[in-house]
Each structure stands twice: as C-alpha cells, then as structure tokens.
Chain A
Amino acid sequence: MIYINVLVALIFILPATLSLSYFFRVFRSINVTGSFFTVILAVVVLLFRIHSSGLFLIDYLNRPLILASASVFFLSSVFGIGYHHRLGESRNMRLHYAMMDLFASAIIFSLEINNLGLLWIGIELTTASSSLLLVIERGKLQIEAAWRYTIIVSAGLSIALVSVIILFFAYGTLTISTMIADARVSEFGEIAAVAAVVGFGTKVGIFPFGTWLPDAHSQAPSEISAMFSGILLPVALYALYRIYQITGGSSVMSLYLIFGLLTVLVAAILIPSQRDYKRMFAYSSMENMGIAFIGLITGGIAVYGAILLLFSHAFGKAGAFYSSGNVLEACGTKEINRVGDLRDSMPTTAATLTLSGLCVTGTPPFGTFVGEFLIIIGMVSAGLYLEVVFLTIAIVISFASVNYFTTAMAFGIEKTRIVKDVSASQKSVALVSVAVALLSSLIYFLGVM
C-alpha cells in the first residue's frame, strides 16, 4: 500500500517540484524532462490498474483523467518553448513555467485525493496558480479576462465549499470513498448537490455560471488554453460527479440533466455566431463538458462513454488550441474570416486544425465519437428519449458549425498572409496531440480503461 501511495503522490509532487526550475537557466529542459516522467508514472497507474481508497482515491474514473492531465501538461511544456521563444530566459517566462507546474500539480492532486475538503482546496489552488498564466503578454484584454476568471470562479467555488460543509455535517467525514459507500438520498444531499452544481459548475462551464470560460480561453496563451480546456474543466466535472455519487437521487439527477442539456444547447447555439476561432473552441469545450456531465449522471455504460469522451477530448481540444496558437502566431489574427487557404501556406497546421475540429465534434473514429455513442446508448437504456433528441440536435449543430469554420480556415479561398514562421516543435506537438486523440478509442476497446 505504501508503494502505491508513494507512486500516486509522485505524480503530483513531481510537477510541484519542477516549479523550482525558476531558479535555473535550463528551466525549459527541466520542465520538459520532469513532465515526461510525470506521464510515465501516470501510464504505470493506468496500465497496472492501480486501485486505492486510502489517502488517495484511485479507480476506473480518475486513472484515464490523471494520464490525460499529465500528458497535456507535458505537451504544453514542449509547446510553450517555441510559442514564447521571444521571451527568452526572462523572469516572466520562468514564472510562467513555474506557475504552469503548480497548476498541473494542483489538477493532479485534486484528481487523486480522497478527501472532499482537500479536493475543494486543490481546485481552488488551480485558480490561484493559473490566473497569472493568462497575463504573460500583459495586454489589457488578457488582464480583464484573468480578472473575470479569478473573481467569477473563486466566488463560485465558495458556494461549493458550502456544499462540502453541508455534507460534512450530514456524514461526519470528508473521506470520499467512505461517503460514497454510505451514499443515501436525503434533503441534505439535495441541498449540497444544488450548491455543488453552482460552485463546481462555475468552474466546469455549466450554463449559466461559466461566463468566464470563453473569455479566459480566448485570451490565454494557446498552451494554457489547451490545459484549461483539456484538463482543468474535467477536474471540476470530476469533483461534481463525486458529489453526485454521494448525494445522487432521482431529483438531483433531473436537476443535473437540465443543467447539462442547457449547457450543451446554449453552447451549440452560440458556436455558429463566433468570429474568433479560440472562442469557438471554448464554446465547444462547454458543449463537450455538458455531454460528459450528462453521461456521468446517466450512469451505466454512459459513465464509460463520458470518461472516454473526456480523455479523447483532452487531446483533441489540446490539439485544436495548439493549432490555433500556430495560426495566431503565423497569421497574427484570431478572426475566422481573415484566415484561409492554410493548406498551401501551413499544410501541417491545416491538417491538425481540421482533424482536431473533427475530433472535438465527435467524428468517427475518434474516441469522442465512441464516447458520445456510449452516452447516447446509456441514455436510451435509461429511457431518456426526449433528452437524446435535444442532445443529438445540439451535437449536429456544433458538428456542422465547428467543422465549417475549421474547413474554411484550412481550405477556404481567402489567401492569408503569413507574417511569421512557426517552429517545428509547435507543429509536432499539435500533430502528436491529434494522433493520440485519434488512437484514444483503442484504450476503451483494448480494455485498458
């Protein structure tokens, strides 16, 4: 048991230790090497199906999410080298990497810890550590987005703490595994579930609480947008699901279903009107989180669908944001209408952008497709026919609009003037990310998950 605890603890301790690279000139190499070892440790936990319910809670639910978090952290560390190369070895750049390390550590800690209070603290820490990551370019818009993110999310998470207090009052413990084993439907649970969906829902991007999400995603540097979308939102969703496991009854399920469906529908309605491709991908993240949320609360096979969707989406959306970063760097604009014909000028980026667009909208053979398919099967089995109709409409709208925009950017007739070359490492990171998303359904079919 002690070895398992050490192994699991190392996955979040290692990134935290990497923040000390601030004091070294070779901070980039230290970060890339260290984050790679984090991935190795996460792979071991997944492949050997490590299970724990002591100090840490490791099970089928969070093993794939830990691997996705470690992997996106590693990919973002590599991407940042090329993307911020003009900042050199400045203090600003070192601080950026140090905060990124603490951010990744807080995310993985939140996924692993078997205590609801500490889980809340871990998620609050992700806010404290990631706010400054948005302002590396120090623009007025970035500062405004960082401010909105910090205030809205922190105020929302405080409501989540009320939910933790209520559950502690009801159960007399904060150990998640004990609370799940003692799960029961009660009025306490219902009130706690409402507070949790407002609190953690703010961080997940659940409508109407997640107003910070498109602003922060569009203004953050691309490797940070990738971490936000790919791994931060799923961690908050994970916390919300743990509370659902403790409190879930039919009334909580109905309430959560309404919030999930509203989120998916609103995101699908807003995507076609977007002019900024990073905002478009941000709304797509809201949509995917909504679908995963619905899958988790539906139960049965839909839970596995939701986990697979979250895993595949992490890589697909990271690939989309890395590709967006490459387009932004090369073309100097975030406007969809001003980017076109990337096929000729940036063939690799055109390919990664198109593929990641297909991935995040649930196109076969990506894992997102298999995930969404399993969620819909689960919903049909649970008799949620009307909800399936609404969900399918939303999925079709966002599929059509996201892919229309990405295809127009990649193959459209508008000639874009390339103002700057993108480094090979940035293109490779986007390519690797999309490739993993493509292969992610294998995780389910090989029975690793």
Chain B
Amino acid sequence: MIAVEIEGILSVLMIISALSVQMRIFINPMLDSVIVQSFILAAIAVFVGVYEASYMLIFLAVLIVLLRGFLISFLLKKKMPADPSTLREDYITTATVIVSSIFVFIISLFIYRVLLFPLIGHPLGSIGLSLIAQGILLIVTRKNSFAHVIGYIEEENGIVLLSLLVVPLPLLIEISALLDVFGIVLVSVILVREDITHDIFEELIG
C-alpha cells in the first residue's frame, strides 16, 4: 500500500514538472524543469527496481540520469546563445499555455480512464499518457528548436513512465530505446546550431 502511495507521489511530481515545463517562456528554465523531471523518472525506476528486486531497472535509472539528466542537458546548454535570456518564446502567452496544458491533461486522463484503465487496471498509467500528451503539446505550440527537443524528451519520459508503471519492457529494448532517443537528440542538437526558430517557407508549402 505504501509502495503504491510512493509511486503515486512521484508520478504526481512528474505531472507538476510537466506543467512547469509548459509554463516557461524562457528556454533555460524550461530545460531545467525537464532535467528535474528526468531525475524524478529515475527515482521511480529505482523505487520500482528495489520493490520488485530488479537490478536491471536500477541500471536503467542510472542510464536515465546519465543520458537525460547530464549528457543531453549539457549538450543543449552548450548550444544555447551566450546570453540565455535572449532565448524566449514570443509567440504564445502564459495564460494560453496554462489553459491548453490543463485541457490536454484532462483529455488524456479521460482517454486513459475510458480506453486503457478497464483493460490495464493500473491507475498511474494515466500519468504516463498525459506526460506524452504534454510533450506533443509543447512541440506543436512552440516555434523554438530547443522547445521542440525538450518536448520530445518529455514525451519519451512519459513513455518510459508508462512502461515502468504498466509493464516494464525487456531491458534490451528499454536501453536501446534510451540510446535511440539520445541519438535523435544528438542529431537535433547538431541541427539546432544552424537555426533557432522555425518560420513559414514558401518552398515548403503545397
């Protein structure tokens, strides 16, 4: 019972971190929020690993901390302009973000409750699904490259959480997926250097 409560508290912290990511207008604190989220995810992996006596999950937590907590954040921060305060989203207001974020959160909880909960039966899986939705929302509503990458990391955090709480995938798959995501972020970081915001190009319409 206590274990379920601890899992619940950690999962709610994940959602709070997701809302914190959404509400940021400046990119630097947005990145910090997603790093915190990755650390909470690692804590959940450690907890589930200890509870189920699975050293593999603890190993997964170490990888999450190393790759998402340190390496990816280091790479992204290195690519940011010298003065990070210049990096901000001017296209969207905080009020719009809060309302749309909460709306998406409620919709994703509803979808999980209606479609997946009767089959899976694990209530906390809904947090994973809503985190995925929050990541997609961030990608769709922002024009800044860094915000897109952060949204993608958040989406992947949601998938790892869903997998951890519902049915942990074989470790080989989990680790390969983690490295794969790292590869995508690495490629994104290379591309982000060239161009920071994304506008409409006439040649790319039609």
Q: Mark A154-167, 1 if CB is under 8 A from B, else 0.
A: 11001101101110
Cross-chain contact A187 with B119 (CB below 8 angstroms): yes
Q: How far is the CA of A132 from the CA of B155 in the complex (A)?
A: 22
Cross-chain contact A125 with B204 (CB below 8 angstroms): no
Q: How far is the CA of A158 from the CA of B158 in the complex (A)?
A: 10
Q: How far is the CA of A147 from the CA of B189 in the complex (A)?
A: 10
Cross-chain contact B148 with A151 (CB below 8 angstroms): yes
Q: Give the number of residues in A that approach B within 8 Å (Cβ atoms).
A: 48
Is A137's beta carbon under 8 Å from chain B? no
Q: How far is the CA of A155 from the CA of B173 in the complex (A)?
A: 18
Cross-chain contact B170 with A117 (CB below 8 angstroms): yes
Q: How far is the CA of A166 from the CA of B206 in the complex (A)?
A: 36
**Distance in Å: Cβ of A145 to nearest Cβ of chain B:** 6
Would A144 and B204 be within 8 Å (CB), given that A155-B155, A165-B166, A174-B170 are in contact?
A: yes
**Distance in Å: Cβ of B162 to nearest Cβ of chain A:** 6
Is B136's beta carbon under 8 Å from chain A? yes
Which residue on B lies nearest to A127, using beta carbons?
A: B184
**Distance in Å: Cβ of B51 to nearest Cβ of chain A:** 19
Cross-chain contact A147 with B191 (CB below 8 angstroms): yes
Q: Mark A251-284, 1 if CB is under 8 A from B, else 0.
A: 0000000000000000000100111100100000
**CB < 8 Å neighbour of A124 from B148, B184, B186:** B184
**Distance in Å: Cβ of B117 to nearest Cβ of chain A:** 11
Cross-chain contact B204 with A145 (CB below 8 angstroms): yes
Cross-chain contact A121 with B180 (CB below 8 angstroms): yes
User: B170 contacts which chain A residues (CB < 8 A)?
Assistant: 117, 174
Would A150 and B191 be within 8 Å (CB), given that A141-B203, A270-B206, A279-B206 are in contact?
A: yes
Would A135 and B201 be within 8 Å (CB), given that A151-B148, A165-B167 are in contact?
A: no
Q: Mark A100-119, 1 if CB is under 8 A from B, else 0.
A: 00000000000000010110
Q: How far is the CA of A121 from the CA of B148 in the complex (A)?
A: 21
User: B190 contacts which chain A residues (CB < 8 A)?
Assistant: 132
Is A326's beta carbon under 8 Å from chain B? no
Cross-chain contact B167 with A124 (CB below 8 angstroms): no
Cross-chain contact A128 with B184 (CB below 8 angstroms): yes
Is B29's beta carbon under 8 Å from chain A? no
Interface, chain A (partner B; CB < 8 A): 115, 117-118, 120-121, 124-125, 127-128, 131-132, 135, 138, 140-141, 143-148, 150-151, 154-155, 158-159, 161-162, 164-166, 168-169, 174, 187-188, 191, 214-215, 218-219, 270, 273-276, 279
Q: Write 18 A-B pairs (CB below 8 A) sorted by A numbering.
A: A117-B173, A131-B187, A147-B145, A148-B204, A151-B149, A154-B152, A154-B184, A155-B135, A161-B177, A162-B129, A165-B167, A168-B167, A169-B166, A174-B170, A214-B206, A218-B203, A273-B206, A276-B203
Additional 17 contacts, C-beta under 8 A, given A121-B177, A140-B195, A155-B136: A117-B172, A117-B177, A118-B172, A128-B180, A128-B186, A131-B187, A131-B188, A141-B203, A143-B195, A148-B198, A148-B204, A158-B152, A158-B156, A165-B167, A191-B119, A219-B204, A273-B206
